[in-house]
Amino acid sequence: MSEWSRICAISDIPALGARVVEVAGTTIAVFRTADNRVFALRDRCPHKGGPLSQGIVHGEQVTCPLHGWVIGLRDGAAEAPDEGCTGRYPVRIVDGDVWLEVTPRPAARTAKGREEPQARSVVSGG
């Protein structure tokens, strides 16, 4: 069973930027593209754990600020030749508000193929 929580207004997320929320101790980055699409990923690069929320958003991707890995916003996967994936969270926009489904889809995998734990709780605050 999944739950949806209101995060913020879409206007609270800068275009080509991110807003960070906490879910049961897991940091989630909510990204906004230039054309107002919104995506949510665990705020941790699968390479060395860099904060993706501080990366550069371009198209449907974010470049990690630590080592330049490019991560797909749609699926959380690293762009080849890099390998790994970070957790992704479904989002929806309702009347200008961003809602986050707090049950993530599939488990994230690190660059070494290990599965990472996923949060299963509601977003506090907002």
Can you give the pLDDT at residue 109? Answer: 56
Q: Which of 4, 22, 8, 2 is nearest to 98 (CA)?
A: 8
Question: Is the confidence at residue 115, as pLDDT, over 50?
Answer: no
Band (118; pLDDT cuts 50, 70, 90): very low
Looking at the domain assignment, is residue 119 inside a domain?
A: no
Question: Is the confidence at residue 116, as pLDDT, over 80?
Answer: no
Structural domain boundaries enclosing 42: 4-101
Total domain count for the chain? 1
In the block, residue with structure tokens 């800068």: 14
Read off the CATH number of the domain in which 19 is found: 2.102.10.10
Strands 38-42 and 26-32: antiparallel
Looking at the domain assignment, is residue 110 inside a domain?
A: no
Question: Is the confidence at residue 120, as pLDDT, over 50?
Answer: no
In the block, residue with structure tokens 């762009």: 79
As a whole number, mean pLDDT of residues 1-30 equals 91
Q: What is this structure's pTM?
A: 0.79
Looking at the domain assignment, is residue 113 inside a domain?
A: no
Q: What's the CA angle centered on 121, arms 49 and 8, to 5 degrees?
A: 80
- Which residues contact residue 64 at a Cβ distance below 8 angstroms, ignoring those fewer than 6 apart? 45, 47, 50, 52, 55, 70, 71
